[in-house]
Structure 1
Amino acid sequence: MSNFIEHCLGRVLALQVRLYACQARLAGCTDTEALHDLRIALRQLRSLLRPLRGLQAVDALEQGAAVLGRLSGPLRDREVLVAELARMGLAHLAPADEAQRAAGYAAIARSRELAELMALLDGWPANWYEAARQGQLKSVNKRIRRRLQRQQRQLASALRDPEHDRHRLRLLIKRVRYAAETYPAQSRLNKAAQLRLKRAQSALGDWHDHLQWLAQAEAHESLRPCRPLWLQAQLAAERRADDALLALYGDLRSPG
């Protein structure tokens, strides 16, 4: 168990270092990947912590990462839209300019939410060791395995629903996939199953992006010329997503 305690501590500290680097890149507006990298680090932190919910050392940190993820989401959505418009040769139609994006990066870098998360990360080692000292981590492998199996059952049940909600399926697939990457031994999903999860997530993400862009086209008249192409692409992504979801049926345990 001590190996797991040290391994988990090391992973969290490594993610803290990455978050500090992302904060500096955002503050200096050095590159266009800083926000994306910040959100990947947050996702990996939450995937590590989510199966450990209920431990005093974990809950506040996991919640802090979730809050910062929600705060940074709209700016990342705008980044993805700008990239799509550039791909189409229509970058001049973007509803926000470079100065606005730079201001958004700076706002994230100096946000109260990021500062509070960093403070929680500073206190993580002492809190984690205290949880171990109190015996809270004795059955941690069993806790992780049980919670990952519950996530898989939830996804299996949603997949079998003939009126499934693609938005909910996208979130469930992300949780199962990232948990499997974080805890491969406890998830018991093989590489082929993880690849099918990745494909389904990608197809649903493409579908979700096009839905958002179509909504933006309704809100911004400058984007109206993009609507026919986006609608066509959204329908194609929907078909790909449904095919990918069908391929997942045999990979997950039956609910029960």
Structure 2
Amino acid sequence: MSDFIEHCLGRVLALQVRLYACQARLADCTDTEALHDLRIALRQLRSLLRPLRGLPAVDALEQGAAVLGRLSGPLRDREVLVAELTRLGLVHLAPADEAQRAAGYVAIASSGELADLMLLLDGWPANWREAARQGQLNDVDKRIRRRLRRQQRQLARALRDPAHDRHRLRLLIKRVRYAAETYPAQSRLSKAVQLRLKRAQSALGDWHDHLQWLAQADALASLGPCRAIWLQAQQAAEQRADGALLALYGDFPSVE
């Protein structure tokens, strides 16, 4: 196998080891960063696999990572909310207590979704090597370059859409940025461009978090004292996001 194919194999195996460690940390219920680290590993796995869609065993593995990401998302959202309430000195307003969060960690660690993903990862080396032996990976580098260019074109079009959807832009920016981190040679995006992508993603993420918190404040009377603070912060985050998006125009020129 080529060095690049071996590199891809090694990266997936390293992420599997990280996921096993995160599973053990979640089951122990004492590590407040375990869930966050699990989701980072899942994101890196999906970024590695997304440009390889259609190759043997890739689609099932990426889907397994996506399912686990969706399962763990609500608990991570609660963690972020608790961190915000702690920052405001209002942690007593949190809608879930420590015992509930610990139960959530255990549920994810023992979930069928995580077990299924680990089984898929166990079979990955044999499937990947067999695909290489059959010549199915001969053009893998070209495939990745082509798909990363497609992602970048989608972002360029979305940036210039007068009715752009910030939620969709946030998703597209995340995909382009994480793909560039995963496949720097194939993405051909400079460190400066990646930094601007990171800034835009951060501003959009801040805006998105405050939108979610405002929705919860509307639904939960206990969070009412935070509403005015969050509304002001959301409006400021929106302005920062729009400025960060403008800064990306030159990096992703029109493809029309």
Shorter-chain TM-score category?
over 0.9
- Which residue of 2 is the match for residue 57 of structure 1? 57
- The answer as to 2:11 corresponding to 1:11 is yes
1:201-240 aligned at under 5 Å gives the runs 201-240=201-240
Q: Which runs of 5+ in 1 are unaligned?
A: none
**Aligned to 1:251, what secondary structure does the other structure show?**
coil
- Asked if structure 2 preserves the Cα contact closer than 8 Å seen for 1:57 and 1:127, the reply is yes
Q: CA deviation at 1:189?
A: 0.6
Deviations 1:25-75 (A, max 9, x none): 001112110000000000000000000001022111011001100110000
1:66-215 aligned at under 5 Å gives the runs 66-215=66-215
- Which residue of 2 is the match for residue 26 of structure 1? 26
Q: CA deviation at 1:253?
A: 4.4
Q: How many residues align?
A: 256
Query: Aligned partners of 2:178, 2:253: CA distance in 1, in Å?
Result: 17
**Aligned to 2:9, what secondary structure does the other structure show?**
helix
Moved segments of 4+, more than 3 Å? none
**Aligned to 1:203, what secondary structure does the other structure show?**
helix
- Which residue of 2 is the match for residue 252 of structure 1? 252
**Aligned to 2:14, what secondary structure does the other structure show?**
helix
Query: Aligned partners of 1:114, 1:43: CA distance in 2, in Å?
Result: 14
Query: Aligned partners of 1:191, 1:5: CA distance in 2, in Å?
Result: 24
Deviations 1:165-195 (A, max 9, x none): 0000000000000000000010011111000
**Aligned to 1:106, what secondary structure does the other structure show?**
helix
* Amino-acid identity (%): 87
Query: Aligned partners of 1:132, 1:253: CA distance in 2, in Å?
Result: 36
Instruction: Kindly provide the amino acid, as one letter, of the partner of residue 29 in structure 2.
Output: C
Instruction: Kindly provide the amino acid, as one letter, of the partner of residue 239 in structure 2.
Output: R
Deviations 1:103-152 (A, max 9, x none): 00000000110000000000000000011111110000100000000000
**Aligned to 1:234, what secondary structure does the other structure show?**
helix
Deviations 1:78-98 (A, max 9, x none): 000000000000000000000
Relative to 1, partners in 2 of residues 1:126 and 1:46: Cα closer, same or farther, differing over 3 Å?
A: same
Query: Aligned partners of 1:224, 1:21: CA distance in 2, in Å?
Result: 38
- Asked if structure 2 preserves the Cα contact closer than 8 Å seen for 1:154 and 1:255, the reply is no
The RMSD of aligned alpha carbons is 0.8
Taking structure 2 as the reference length, the TM-score comes to 0.99
Query: Aligned partners of 2:109, 2:36: CA distance in 1, in Å?
Result: 13
- Asked if structure 2 preserves the Cα contact closer than 8 Å seen for 1:57 and 1:131, the reply is no
Q: CA deviation at 1:254?
A: 3.0
Q: CA deviation at 1:252?
A: 1.5
